[in-house]
């Protein structure tokens, strides 16, 4: 874990009061700034030292070989990896010819603050050079939510105890060296210098570099420009070559004088536009940013975030760590998707190269629920990206001998690049996850134009896949055999309940949408016979049940398998996939991540209260949480079945995954889905949020440690707030027409500016379920102090 006592507890900030080089890579991810289009890791402006240098532009990737010991029909032939693009963060400082480097001289003080309301990363440092010259450096960095292509840095230098000759070198650098990685050497070769120079131009205080990727054929332009405010004798020069552009500012600072530089950055890319067009695009973006000015960018950023927090804010009383971490998580979810605009939302956002920058089912199942109830237009754009990849998905289905669309398990551009079938392509539930997100978005917005133009085709093509993948057996049941559900330790199983239930919803939603939009459905080749086949498959969907144990098997006959030997599994053998062959995992009762439990969340009405309680207890003793996606879901259902303290423990695991580096891989980027899971655990878990027939339903209840929970939602052009304490809950409508709600099964109507209060029922006590030896979540112990150190 990050044993980082300098991370102070603050409801709206992540503050680091000293620089710890041992966790530099982790804090670079924590302090990353992005807007869904451009991402800047929290690297130091001077560039060195660095844990993992990183500047990313969404969907700029390079192709790489996928190695196979034995190739097979239908295996993807190449993968895609997000690349480190031209670095514009670099601002090098020389103090009387000594380069500012925190590893040399004396770093007298160093503080960084990620401000979740301002959307900025602020840095304050005082450094004495090896020659004894002391300087104060103050920087503020932002990636604009309003001006999609723009990032900016305000850089300030001031002498502390005497005159200084300073040189500031502001740079654009392409193909910067990266740390060695344990990748396949062929992959390293493809990604070590992925950008091929095309053009370099300097002008006044700015420069533009244009490159393209050798294999994927993507053209990238990066531009910088500057405003310089210094003593009258300040000199500025600009130079550029293929991979480096530099603007150098030279001056002498007397005590009381400052050198202030505002650096504007712009990024643009295209696989089709010309070099000149792309160069003009970033030049225009820079001109717009200069016109706005630094103060204008700051004001725009704050205004955007004020609107976001008015819809998405969560307040938690009783646990300062959870309060800080849930807002941190929401901020990173926003950064991952706000301006992605019909591009993928990667599992790590634009904070690092973990998972090669790929998007998974995480987006639709964990990230989009948050965005749907806060920034629905952003959720719609993410689904429009999926819609834009339909040609690749239908081609993939054809290759597999299936109808409809087979969406990829992992991808950047829409083509499958998962090289392991059982835990990748066989997880066809990705289709139903996309359909689930479509259903959720349409329910939350009543956006009939979206349903007609985007949703209908997504629902129809995914429904077609289920009709060809499944079949009616001799007993008339509709079966979906040989697939992998969310639990990747149980591959190629028959009738995975999660898959079957969400496929059933998919089939019914496709039929309903086709009947609402008959002309458009006919255009997609949908006729009454096909609609009838979807309804028949949904009605006959097989949902296995183990009568002997009184629980639902995760998949057919799962509960007949031998239970994994947890007692003799050593702590250092987790995650199990790194210590045991998949063959051993696939034929045992051991669960990597919530599967049947996730089905009980997303398809709540398919289970009775008693079934949920029994199922949850059964799968708790099998679930090892070797995936960061699991804890949030376990928190939701633990809360629903009355295990409030256990839900609270799981909430901490989901919300603190990156601030405490619980998975030991935050250096590769933050875990966007798990951070979204902090919101899910609070709002769907302790808030009890579900939707039923177009109605928002709540069943709130709190653990003893939390004295108050308040959250906002945006639903069908209405902004509502829910405030829960130990005995009562209040609902208030702040914007929009009257809205019908449901509280613990009781329906009522909420009117504008009206507050409705209802009691919180007492939860019946149940025995706390057990987990596999050594895999129980850490018990939450509230830390009320000023620092995060443990």
Per-residue pLDDT tens over the stretch 405-441? 999 999 999 999 998 889 889 999 999 999 999 999 9
pLDDT band at 7 (very low <50, low <70, confident <90, very high): confident
Q: What average pLDDT does range 696-723 have in this prediction?
A: 97
Contact by Cβ (8 Å): 190, 211: no
* Lowest-confidence pick of 101-105, 157-161, 179-183, 668-672: 179-183
Query: What pLDDT, on a 0 to 100 scale, did the predictor assign at position 398?
Result: 97
93 three-class SS: strand
Distance CA 702, CA 725 (A): 7
pLDDT exceeds cutoff 50 at 164: yes
Residue range 284-293, pLDDT digits in tens: 999 999 999 9
H or E element, residue 352: none
Which residues share a beta bridge with 39?
A: 34, 56
157 three-class SS: strand
pLDDT exceeds cutoff 80 at 338: yes
pLDDT band at 185 (very low <50, low <70, confident <90, very high): very low
Query: What pLDDT, on a 0 to 100 scale, did the predictor assign at position 513?
Result: 98
Q: What average pLDDT does range 474-484 have in this prediction?
A: 98
Q: Burial of 628 by CB count in 10 Å (0-12 exposed, 13-18 middle, 19+ buried)? A: buried
Query: What pLDDT, on a 0 to 100 scale, did the predictor assign at position 183?
Result: 57
Distance CA 63, CA 58 (A): 15
- CA gyration radius, the chain: 27
Count the Cβ atoms, other than its own, within 10 Å of residue 318.
17
What average pLDDT is seen over the chain?
95
pLDDT band at 784 (very low <50, low <70, confident <90, very high): low
Pick from 200, 203, 250, 205: nearest CA to 220? 200
Query: What pLDDT, on a 0 to 100 scale, did the predictor assign at position 788?
Result: 47
CB-hemisphere CA count at 13 Å for 432? 28
Active site residues: 488
Looking at the chain, the whole-number percentage of residues with pLDDT higher than 70 is: 97
Count the Cβ atoms, other than its own, within 10 Å of residue 741.
20
Query: What pLDDT, on a 0 to 100 scale, did the predictor assign at position 188?
Result: 47
pTM, entire model: 0.96
pLDDT band at 782 (very low <50, low <70, confident <90, very high): low
pLDDT band at 349 (very low <50, low <70, confident <90, very high): very high
pLDDT exceeds cutoff 90 at 137: yes
pLDDT exceeds cutoff 60 at 184: no
Q: Burial of 609 by CB count in 10 Å (0-12 exposed, 13-18 middle, 19+ buried)? A: exposed
Pairing between strand 562-563 and 588-589?
A: parallel
For residue 533, what are the contacts with CB-CB under 8 A and spacing of at least 6? 467
pLDDT exceeds cutoff 80 at 601: yes
| Three-class HEC string of 255-274 | CCCCEEEEEEEEEEEECCCC
Which residues share a beta bridge with 746?
A: 743
């Amino acid at each position: 874990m990050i044993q980082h006592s300098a991370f102070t507890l603050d409801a709206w900030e992540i503050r680091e009061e000293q620089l710890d080089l041992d966790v530099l890579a982790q804090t670079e991810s924590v302090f990353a700034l992005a807007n869904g289009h451009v991402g800047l890791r929290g690297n130091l402006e001077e560039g060195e030292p660095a844990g993992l240098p990183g500047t990313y532009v969404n969907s700029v990737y390079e192709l790489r070989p996928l190695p196979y010991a034995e190739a097979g029909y239908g295996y993807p032939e190449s993968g895609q990896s997000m690349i480190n693009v031209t670095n514009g963060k670099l601002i090098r400082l020389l103090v009387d010819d000594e380069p500012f480097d925190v590893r040399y001289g004396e770093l007298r003080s160093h503080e960084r603050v990620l401000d979740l309301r301002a959307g900025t990363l602020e840095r304050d440092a005082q450094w004495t050079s090896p020659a004894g010259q002391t300087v104060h450096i103050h920087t503020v960095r932002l990636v604009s939510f309003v001006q999609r292509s723009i990032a900016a840095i305000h850089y300030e230098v001031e002498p502390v105890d005497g005159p200084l000759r300073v040189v500031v070198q502001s740079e654009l650098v392409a193909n910067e060296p990266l740390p060695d990685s344990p990748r396949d050497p062929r992959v390293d070769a493809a990604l070590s210098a992925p950008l091929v120079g095309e053009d370099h131009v300097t002008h006044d205080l700015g420069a533009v570099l244009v490159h393209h990727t050798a294999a994927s054929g993507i053209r990238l332009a990066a531009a910088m420009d500057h405003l310089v405010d210094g003593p009258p004798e300040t000199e500025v020069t600009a130079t550029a070559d293929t991979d480096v552009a530099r603007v150098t500012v030279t001056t002498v600072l007397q005590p009381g004088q400052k050198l202030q530089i505002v650096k504007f950055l712009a990024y643009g890319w295209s696989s089709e536009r010309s070099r000149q067009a792309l160069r003009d695009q970033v030049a225009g973006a820079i001109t717009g940013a200069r016109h706005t000015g630094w103060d204008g960018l700051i004001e725009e950023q704050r205004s955007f975030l004020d609107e976001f927090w008015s819809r998405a804010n969560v307040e938690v009383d009783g646990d300062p760590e959870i309060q800080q971490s849930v807002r941190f998580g929401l901020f990173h979810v926003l950064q991952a998707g706000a301006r992605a605009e019909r591009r993928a939302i990667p599992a790590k956002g634009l904070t690092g190269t973990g998972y090669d920058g790929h998007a998974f089912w995480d987006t639709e199942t964990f990230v989009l629920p948050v965005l749907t109830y806060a920034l629905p237009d952003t959720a719609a754009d993410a689904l429009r990206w999926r819609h834009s990849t339909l040609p690749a998905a239908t081609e993939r289905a054809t290759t597999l001998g299936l109808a409809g669309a087979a969406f990829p398990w992992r991808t950047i551009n829409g083509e499958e690049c998962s090289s392991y079938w059982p835990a990748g392509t066989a997880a066809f539930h990705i289709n139903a996850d996309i359909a689930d997100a479509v259903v959720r978005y349409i329910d939350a917005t009543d956006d009939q134009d979206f349903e007609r133009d985007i949703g209908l085709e997504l629902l129809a093509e995914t429904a077609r896949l289920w009709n060809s993948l499944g079949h009616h057996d001799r007993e008339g049941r509709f079966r979906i055999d040989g697939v992998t559900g969310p639990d990747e330790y149980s591959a190629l199983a028959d009738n995975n309940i999660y898959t079957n239930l969400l496929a059933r919803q998919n089939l019914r939603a496709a039929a309903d949408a086709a009947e609402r939009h008959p002309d458009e459905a006919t255009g997609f080749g949908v006729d009454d016979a096909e609609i009838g086949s979807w309804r028949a498959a949904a009605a006959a969907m097989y949902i296995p049940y183990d009568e002997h144990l009184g629980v639902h098997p995760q998949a057919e006959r799962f509960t007949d398998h031998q239970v994994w030997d947890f007692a003799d599994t050593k702590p250092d053998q987790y995650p199990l996939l790194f210590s045991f062959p998949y063959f051993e995992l696939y034929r045992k009762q051991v669960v990597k991540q919530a599967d049947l439990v996730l089905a009980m969340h997303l398809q709540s009405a398919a289970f009775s209260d008693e079934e949920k309680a029994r199922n949850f207890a059964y799968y708790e003793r099998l679930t090892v949480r070797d995936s960061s996606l699991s804890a949030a879901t376990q928190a939701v259902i633990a809360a629903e079945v009355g295990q409030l303290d256990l839900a609270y423990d799981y909430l901490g695991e989901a919300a603190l995954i990156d601030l405490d580096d619980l998975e030991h891989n935050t250096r590769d980027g933050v875990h966007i889905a798990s951070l979204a899971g902090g919101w899910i655990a609070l709002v769907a878990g302790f808030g009890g949020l579900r939707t039923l027939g177009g109605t928002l339903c709540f069943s709130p209840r709190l653990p003893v440690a939390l004295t108050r929970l308040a959250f906002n939602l945006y639903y069908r052009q209405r902004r509502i707030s829910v405030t829960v304490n130990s005995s009562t809950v209040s609902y208030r409508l702040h914007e929009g027409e009257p809205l019908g709600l449901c509280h613990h099964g009781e329906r009522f109507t909420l009117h504008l500016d009206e507050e409705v209060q209802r009691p919180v029922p007492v939860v019946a006590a149940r025995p706390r379920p057990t987990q596999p030896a050594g895999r129980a979540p850490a018990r939450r112990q509230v830390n009320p102090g000023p620092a995060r150190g443990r």
